[in-house]
Homo-oligomer: A and B are copies of this chain.
């Protein structure tokens, strides 16, 4: 059976302006790979309602799971929750359980649960909450879309909350081999190897070090014996 598929939607002007390097995608990608879920597409869109709504609809229709990052804080530029509600045609309002979480948190902190903070308790109708052990304000899941925070420490905590709820497939195993020759020298044998192992994914990643060309070859697949056999054949052919 093929593995479940996934897409990620990163929401935020700060990524598209170049101010912030997105690291959430890389984190999620690693966790999904370990879990046997194939991340097939990532989109990054700005804090723009129509862009968010249409991306959510397209990805929710196209993949088994969708994960979003960003735009669920208390400030005016945090519009993700409203856009998700709009994408699925459901209402959104402050919900008692989310409000109770925030009320207890801010009471412990000695801060006021003001109107801005209360925005973080607005949850689309029919969603379930995602636990946030870092800063309490919850994420949520609606249909196949997991809505999480953009701050990397909070995003990671929410991913950890979500991952055990997902049914994974066979984890993708990988082995890699460093070959100190340029890609152009090894492309022929590599292509034959790929033909002989159609179930494996064989990637070649060139690098340059101290003025010399080299290639990292990464072989991925679900059958560890097959991955091992392909790596061995390559090592033998390349004399490494």
Docked-complex contact A74 and B184, CB < 8 angstroms? yes
Per-residue contact bits, chain A 110-134, to B (CB 8 Å; 1 contact, 0 not): 0100111101000000000000000
Task: List B contacts of A23 (CB < 8 A).
Answer: 21
- Tell me the nearest residue of chain B to A172, going by C-beta: B17
Q: How far in angstroms is the closest Cβ of chain B from A47?
A: 8
Q: A139 interface residue, CB < 8 Å from B?
A: no
The answer, yes or no, to whether A65 is at the interface (CB within 8 Å) is: no
List of B residues within 8 angstroms of A77 by Cβ: 194, 202-204
Is A61 an interface residue when CB atoms closer than 8 A count as contact? no
Interface residues on A, range: 35 or more
Are A17 and B33 also in contact (CB < 8 A) when A116-B187, A117-B184, A204-B73 are? Answer: yes
* Interface residues as binary, A176-217 with B (CB distance below 8 Å gives 1, 0 otherwise): 000000111111101100100000011111111000000000
CB of A53 within 8 Å of the partner chain: no
Interface string of A16-43 (1 = CB under 8 A from B): 1111111101111111110000111111
Say whether, besides A13-B203, A14-B205, A203-B77, A41 and B51 are in contact (CB < 8 Å): yes
Considering only residues 213-227 of chain A, those with a C-beta below 8 Å from chain B are: 218, 220
Q: Do the beta carbons of A13 and B201 come within 8 Å of each other?
A: yes
Given contacts A25-B44, A51-B40, contact A204 B75 (CB under 8 A): yes
Q: Is A76 an interface residue (CB 8 A)?
A: yes
* Interface positions of A (Cβ within 8 A of B): 10, 12-23, 25-33, 38-47, 51, 73-77, 106, 111, 114-117, 119, 135, 151, 153, 172, 174, 182-188, 190-191, 194, 201-208, 218, 220
